[in-house]
Amino acid sequence: MSTPPSELATRLRAWFDHPRATQPSASASGQTFYFLSDRAGHPEAWSISATGGPPSPLLRTKERVGRVQPAPEGDRLVVASDVGGDEHWELSLVAADGKGRRRLTSDPSRIHEPGAWRDSHRYVFRSNARDVRFFDIYEIDLDGSAAPARIREEDALVEVVAARGDRLLLQQARTNIDAVLLLRLGTDERPLNPHSGEEAVFDADLAKDAVYAATNPGREFTALYRFGAEGNGPELVHSFGGDLEHVRADRAGRRLALVANDRGYSRLFLWEIGSAELSPVDLPYEGVVDSVAWLPDGATLLFDLSAPTLGVEIFRADVADRTVRAVTRAAGPMPGPGVAPALAGFAASDGLRVPYWLHAPPGTPRGTIVLVHGGPESQARPGFAPVIAFLVERGFRVVVPNVRGSLGYGRTYLHLDDVRRRMDSVRDLRDLADHLGSTPAGSGEVRPKFGIIGGSYGGFMVLSAISTYPALWAAAVDIVGIANFVTFLERTGPWRRKVREDEYGSLEHDREFLEKISPLHHADQIRAPLLVVHGANDPRVPIYEAEQIVSTLERLNVPVEFLRFEDEGHGLVRRENQVRAYARAAEFFERYLAPRSASGGPTERRGPAAEG
């Protein structure tokens, strides 16, 4: 018998209620730190004194806040927020105490993405106000009365990376991975990394006399490169064992904060520009750093850290002695003993080594759930994940693979699922199930079935797995997933379509293939009960994808449930919706994946131990 939904929801809420603090920044004086927190049930702007004390909400909003950017001088901030998860970001100017909110943009049908302060009164950002397919660069004088002025126009996808006075660093996307860095001085502009083929830029920043970037010209992994003011470059400064992900220069241009990816874990370093000295900063927990920010004096670095045994908190690192101290701290302990996952791997049927994270409960698991990340140019990593922690607490073994096409394993691995290779990544899920469910010859054991859950592209992987290999899966949960690549590409935000075609294929050249591999056209093969979750305001994977697969399975009499959220977009950010959806998913898995035997014990055996 499955657990009552109310009990599941109550326990799951405890995990989601453990607050997450992200994206730290500092006031011009260095006396106040700002960050995003979901303590109130959705992401809002919060502040805390640099000398300590409890944090407080900066700006109470009913909608989520996506960014807080303090001015380099004075006590003003730019705050970005959207409505119902639609990602149509609007910008506001707010005083340091959260009062006096002034709208800088006011067209909810367009996107106004935050950029950077040039100085204490000029701010630059990007918007697709002129043409919904493209992004131009705008500048606004916050002390004047004029509307934002368009300072760069081109039929392309351009974003603001950094700004310092008259220097403006931009990035133009060619694909979701390939990008060109542009340095703009006044109206003069030059590309820093003109190239043919592909060159990724994960991050970049302006130092005193150069641009430093995490990029990979002719390399498998991104490394630290320097582009000099005199026009020379790129010059390789330092390489790491994996990708360099974050580059942040202090205001004086004396040093860089660097975050590198080491098998999924983050490693934090300081780079002294003058002496070319690299030194590590020891993190208090093994986990993932998503953002870093300098205090104005360059003597202290702020960063967020996500770890299974911590949650997500803000820390400060002092440059002089490399000491690290907590800035934020949850009011209470975590709901349970968060357990770090084990890094494992298996050999796919074509011999490729595919890594995965194994989250195992104590004792014999009730069943195994495969969780597939989105992207696909993304990576499952060992951060704090309330849903995984909850499922493990419920007795499930949760396996999170980085199938071919994932980030973090080099350029070659990243492209192993492109276009006509798409189904090779789905086959990785079958091979993973074979690996997890293998038994000694002649053992007489019945091969177990698995649960599977994923969001966005991971939702496509769920639908494709259960329609391509239906015998493997006992239950499935699709969250904002793609059911038909053709209708997805036709309806996704027009600013996204071109940069996604390099990965998925184009409607012009690959329509027949995209139709062929779309799970919607193989729905008659699906046997696993399916739960579908989608936000009505999703601009990336429109809700039509969910509606198609649900109506088709209903017609085929396949068990399917649909949770539609009118106030969500691409994923769930509101606490009440998170709890409702994931508690239902847990109940779904408990009902179909982990039935109890007559003796009351679980019917599924434990799989093999994790491989190193």
Could you tell me the pLDDT band of residue 450, with boundaries at 50, 70 and 90? very high
Strand order of the β-sheet with 179-185 is 157-164, 167-173, 179-185, 188-191
Residues paired with residue 203 on neighbouring β-strands, in sequence order: 214
- The gap between the terminal CA atoms of the chain, to the nearest Å, is 36
Q: At residue 598, does pLDDT exceed 80?
A: no
pLDDT of residue 438: 61
H or E element, residue 521: none
DSSP label at 340?
P
Q: Which long-range contacts (CB under 8 A, 24 or more apart) does 35-43 make?
A: 35/68, 35/304, 35/314, 35/327, 35/328, 36/65, 36/66, 36/67, 36/68, 37/328, 38/573, 38/575, 41/574, 41/575, 41/576, 42/573, 42/574, 42/575, 43/573
Q: What is the band of 279 on the pLDDT scale with cuts at 50, 70, 90?
A: very high
Query: What sign results for the dihedral spanned by CA atoms 38, 41, 43, 49?
Result: negative
| pTM confidence score | 0.93
Neighbours of 253 (CB within 10 A): 18
Number of H helices, E strands in the chain: 10, 36
Q: How far apart are CA 24 and CA 305, in angstroms?
A: 11
Give mean pLDDT, residues 530-556: 97
The answer regarding whether domain 342-439+450-592 maps to CATH 3.40.50.1820 reads yes
Nearest to 43 by CA among 14, 93, 79: 79
Name the band, by pLDDT with cuts 50, 70 and 90, for residue 60.
Answer: confident
Q: What pLDDT digit, counting tens, does each position of 327-368 carry?
A: 999 888 889 988 899 999 999 999 999 999 999 999 889 999
What is the arithmetic mean of pLDDT over 580-596?
89
State the pairing for strand pair 21-26/530-535.
unpaired
Count of beta carbons in the 10 Å neighbourhood of residue 606:
14
Helix 5-16 and helix 386-393: axis angle, to 10°? 140
Residue 36 C-beta-side C-alpha neighbours within 13 Å: 22
Cβ atoms of residues 21 and 314 within 8 Å: yes
Average pLDDT over residues 87-97: 94
- Residue 1 has a pLDDT of 43
Domain spans of the chain, in order of start: 342-439+450-592
pLDDT band, residue 417 (cuts 50/70/90): very high
Calpha distance 389→339 (Å, rounded)? 8
In DSSP terms, 347 is beta-bridged to 353
Please give the pLDDT value at position 3. 57
| Per-chain mean pLDDT for the chain | 92
Any idea which residue has 């002025």 for tokens? 149
- In this structure, of 199-208, 223-232, 550-559, the range with the lowest mean pLDDT score is 223-232
Looking at residue 588, the DSSP 8-state letter turns out to be: H
Query: Per-residue pLDDT for 439 more than 70?
Result: no
Query: Which DSSP symbol is given to 148?
Result: P
Higher-confidence residue: 499 or 545? Answer: 545
Tens-place pLDDT, residues 104-147: 998 999 999 999 999 999 999 999 999 999 999 999 999 988 89
Mean pLDDT of 187-197: 92
Q: Which two tokens stand for residue 374?
A: 């989105």
pLDDT in tens, 14-39: 999 999 999 999 999 999 999 999 99
Give the mean pLDDT of 56-71.
94
What DSSP letter does each residue of 347-396 carry, written as one string? E-TTS-EEEEEEE--SSS-SEEEEEE-SSSS----SS--HHHHHHHHTTE
Q: Are 525 and 502 in contact (CB under 8 A)?
A: no
